[in-house]
């Protein structure tokens, strides 16, 4: 084998190794990303409060959110925003943050069910909810990314 051939062979082996290393690291990253988060934050669709309508014949638009973990979580803070759509962009209707001081058992739910706004008239309006949260899990703060309602709800409720 000539020196030139030896050099070409070594070069191709080096390139192959160099290409394999990042692939392995990407695979490790993908594998860690596939590990399911121990917590889930969910925000429901905006809806009219049936309680208020049944008892007082008045309307309020409401959105609920919950955080559930399969590990103990403490100091859970859940922020829920109620938004309405508009011609020039979306408008915040109300924002409510609940801070739970205790620790919850695995599988138990922490709720923010207090985000609502009274309807001022019957104007058809489109609403959706946004929620985000943080909690102390295993001594570290974990932040849940913003989640949105599955659907935009069109309700006879002007705010």
d(CA 109, CA 39): 10
d(CA 156, CA 159): 10
Give whichever of 52 and 142 is closer to other proteins, judged by the CB atom. Answer: 52
Q: How far is the CB of 122 from other proteins (least distance, A)?
A: 16
Give whichever of 77 and 137 is closer to other proteins, judged by the CB atom. Answer: 77
H-state helical runs in 3-147: 3-34, 50-56
d(CA 133, CA 77): 5
Give whichever of 69 and 137 is closer to other proteins, judged by the CB atom. Answer: 69
Give whichever of 129 and 137 is closer to other proteins, judged by the CB atom. Answer: 129
Q: How far is the CB of 130 from other proteins (least distance, A)?
A: 13
Q: How far is the CB of 55 from other proteins (least distance, A)?
A: 6
The HSE-up count of residue 47 (CA atoms within 13 Å, CB side) is: 14
What letter does residue 37 receive in the DSSP assignment?
P
Q: Which residues pair with 115 in a beta bridge?
A: 63
Q: Which residues pair with 20 in a beta bridge?
A: none
Q: How far is the CB of 98 from other proteins (least distance, A)?
A: 5
Give whichever of 96 and 142 is closer to other proteins, judged by the CB atom. Answer: 96
Name the residue with tokens 């002007």.
158
Q: How far is the CB of 150 from other proteins (least distance, A)?
A: 8
Residues in contact with other proteins by CB under 8 A are 40, 42-45, 47, 49-52, 55-56, 58, 60, 62, 64-66, 68, 91-102, 109, 111, 113-114, 116-118, 120, 150
């Amino acid at each position: 084998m000539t020196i030139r051939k030896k050099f070409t062979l070594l070069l191709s082996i080096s390139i192959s190794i160099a290409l394999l290393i990042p692939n392995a690291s990407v695979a490790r990253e993908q594998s860690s990303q596939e590990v399911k988060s121990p917590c889930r934050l969910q925000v429901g669709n905006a809806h009219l409060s049936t309680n208020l309508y049944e008892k007082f014949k008045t309307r309020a638009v409401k959105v609920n959110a919950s955080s559930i973990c399969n590990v103990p979580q403490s100091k859970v803070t859940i922020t829920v925003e109620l938004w309405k759509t508009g011609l020039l962009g979306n408008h915040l209707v109300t924002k409510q943050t609940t801070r739970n001081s205790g620790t919850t058992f695995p599988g138990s739910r922490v709720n923010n069910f207090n985000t609502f706004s009274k309807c001022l008239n019957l104007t058809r309006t489109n609403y959706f909810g946004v929620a985000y949260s943080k909690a102390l899990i295993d001594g570290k703060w974990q932040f849940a990314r913003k989640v949105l309602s599955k659907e935009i709800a069109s309700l006879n409720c002007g705010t």
